[in-house]
């Protein structure tokens, strides 16, 4: 009897150890469907079930649904409208209990989470790292985005969303990931990448995949079916547009973060030629930020009109299909960073030092951008986009321009872009490291690029701080 008990205990220990075996990869899919994206999220999950050929990596999703959009009852277990956890395998799924980190979520009870609260995201990442441990992690945020924030959730009565600085304020370095996949619109900004830089001692990502303008959903079936130990001959594969040769499959046991990032990006390009996407090496963004701020301290010595003329001539990430072009340019003040700085480097009227610093910014942008492409059909026609250098924006509005409906300056509508806490405002959060780092507030000199913008567009540098309350 004694030996039988020991055998049973050893078997239980063995089973427990197997369940906690460290995989090479865990993919975490954070699906915020408390909005009009719900139908697309269910399509994503259906593609995942078809595409996941291998059990050699983990795929875990937290999904929230809402009434009024999809009536899908077959992709997952019914037409639910609450928040649920699942593990996805080939043509199957398993509903999960939230255990210690998400105890409100269970297979036998209903719970409505605020997916726009960064604490929910934090708990989800902690859950995955505890119960699906791996050497590498890919976190996919899937919903809507507009550059200011992403993943809106209004089910609690108040519209909320995830903001770039909210992630670094509430998550920690323990929730850092190898790859951050932003399957949302318009988040490929230097200001956002810098917020999630690996050196920030908080939430971070080594690689980021994001779109500068509006975009569509990833092709999850094509992405996942290429993660397999089977021969690549089993799949119809395209030519590799970015690295040359033919696309290939990746062994989940061996693939690196860069390998997986490139594979995802190839499939985005194959399925979504109309948008513009970038793959970024986020370990490079801190050095780039220092050089941009150095260049800003030189630009302040140049003529304002020369700088604003460059801004007017820089490629912007808004859609030509917008009914009101002025409103699109107001809402999306996102200019291609490489095009902007390349023009600065070629501006004959600028000092040699300013131009040389701009050239160095362009070189560092080339280091940051691994791959990028520009879509056709919905974006302004341009010959100024350079693959592998363009594709990431800076927030640079035509700040002196007046909005026809109010006569307020474009810069006054960017008050959400701030080093200060704006979380009490509607649709704002502030606290951008991009704005605060390398700057001394109210010292009457321009220290970084954010302060350069305020110098250019806010004539009131008194105790009130002008239109955005900031005094440089």
The 10s digit of each residue's pLDDT in 165-217 is: 999 999 999 999 999 999 999 999 999 999 999 999 999 999 999 999 999 99
Using pLDDT thresholds of 50, 70 and 90, give the confidence band for residue 19.
very low
| pLDDT score, position 55 | 94
Q: What is the mean pLDDT of residues 110-115?
A: 94
Short-list 379, 457, 390, CA closest to 417: 457
Mean pLDDT in residue range 132-149: 97
pLDDT tens track for 372-410:
999 988 888 899 999 999 999 999 999 999 999 999 999
For the four alpha carbons of 237, 368, 456 and 419, in that order, the dihedral sign comes to: positive
Q: How many CA atoms are closer than 13 Å to the CA of 275, on its beta-carbon side?
A: 25
> pTM for the complete prediction?
0.94
Return the sign of the alpha-carbon dihedral for residues 471, 192, 178, 281.
negative
* Angle value at C-alpha 452, between 446 and 456, nearest 5 degrees: 120
pLDDT at site 322: 61
* Residues 207-233: tens digit of each pLDDT: 999 999 999 999 999 999 999 998 766
> How wide is the angle at C-alpha 182 spanned by C-alphas 181 and 187, nearest 5°?
140
Residue 14 scores a pLDDT above 70: no
**Measured between alpha carbons, how far is 319 from 44 in angstroms, rounded to an integer?**
25
Task: Say if residue 2's pLDDT is above 70.
Answer: no
Confidence of residue 234 (pLDDT cuts 50, 70, 90): low
Q: Is 17 a known active-site residue?
A: no
Strands (E) located in 318-368? 334-336
Coil vs helix vs strand at 304: helix
Band of the pLDDT at 353, cuts 50, 70, 90? Answer: very high
Instruction: Look over the chain and give the mean of its residue pLDDT values, rounded to a whole number.
Output: 92
Task: Give the DSSP per-residue string, 162-228.
Answer: E-HHHHHHHS-GGG-EEEEEEESSS--BHHHHHHT-GGGSSS-EEEEEEESS------HHHHHHTBS
Per annotation, catalytic residue among 151, 185, 414, 435: 185
Is residue 418 classed as helix, strand or coil in its secondary structure?
A: coil
d(CA 31, CA 178): 19
Cα angle: 199, vertex 29, 261; to 5 degrees = 55
- Pairing type for strands 92-96 and 150-153 reads unpaired
């Amino acid at each position: 009897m004694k030996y039988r008990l020991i055998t049973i205990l050893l078997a239980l220990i063995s089973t427990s150890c197997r369940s906690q075996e460290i995989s090479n990869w865990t993919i975490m899919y954070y699906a915020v469907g408390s909005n009009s994206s719900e139908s697309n999220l269910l399509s994503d999950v259906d593609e995942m079930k078809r595409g996941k050929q291998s059990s050699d990596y983990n795929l875990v999703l937290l999904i929230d649904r809402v009434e009024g959009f999809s009536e899908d009852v077959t992709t997952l277990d019914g037409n639910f409208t609450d928040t649920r956890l699942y593990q996805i395998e080939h043509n199957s799924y398993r509903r999960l209990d939230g255990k210690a980190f998400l105890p409100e979520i269970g297979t036998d009870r209903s719970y409505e989470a605020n997916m726009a609260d960064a604490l929910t995201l934090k708990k989800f990442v902690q859950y995955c790292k505890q119960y699906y441990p791996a050497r590498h992690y890919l976190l996919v945020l899937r919903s809507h985005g507009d550059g200011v924030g992403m993943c809106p959730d209004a089910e609690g009565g108040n519209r909320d969303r995830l903001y770039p600085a909210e992630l670094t304020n509430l998550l920690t370095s323990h929730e850092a990931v190898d790859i951050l996949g932003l399957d949302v619109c318009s988040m490929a900004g230097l200001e956002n990448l810098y917020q999630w830089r690996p050196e920030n001692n908080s939430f971070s990502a080594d690689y980021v995949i994001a779109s500068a303008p509006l975009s569509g959903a990833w092709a999850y079936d094509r992405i996942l079916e290429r993660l397999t130990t089977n021969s690549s001959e089993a799949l119809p594969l395209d030519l590799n547009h970015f690295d040359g040769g033919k696309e290939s499959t990746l062994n989940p046991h061996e693939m690196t973060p860069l390998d997986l990032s490139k594979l995802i990006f190839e499939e985005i390009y194959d399925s979504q030629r109309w948008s513009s996407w970038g793959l970024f090496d986020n370990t490079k963004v801190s050095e780039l930020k220092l050089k941009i701020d150095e260049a800003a301290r030189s630009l302040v010595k140049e003529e304002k009109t020369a700088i604003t003329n460059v801004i007017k001539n820089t490629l912007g990430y808004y859609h030509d299909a917008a009914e009101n072009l002025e409103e699109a340019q107001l809402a999306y003040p996102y200019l291609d960073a490489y095009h902007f700085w390349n023009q600065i480097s070629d501006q004959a009227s600028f000092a040699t030092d300013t131009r040389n610093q701009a050239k160095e910014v362009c070189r560092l942008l080339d280091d940051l951008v691994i791959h990028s492409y520009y879509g056709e059909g919905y974006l302004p026609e341009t010959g100024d986009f350079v693959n592998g250098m363009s594709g990431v924006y800076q927030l640079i509005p035509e700040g002196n321009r007046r909005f026809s409906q109010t006569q307020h300056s474009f810069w006054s509508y960017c008050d959400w872009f701030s080093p200060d806490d704006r979380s009490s405002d509607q649709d704002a959060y502030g606290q951008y490291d991009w704005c605060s780092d390398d700057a001394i507030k109210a010292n009457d000199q321009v220290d970084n690029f954010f302060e350069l913008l305020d110098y250019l567009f806010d004539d009131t540098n008194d105790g009130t701080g002008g239109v955005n309350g900031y005094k440089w």
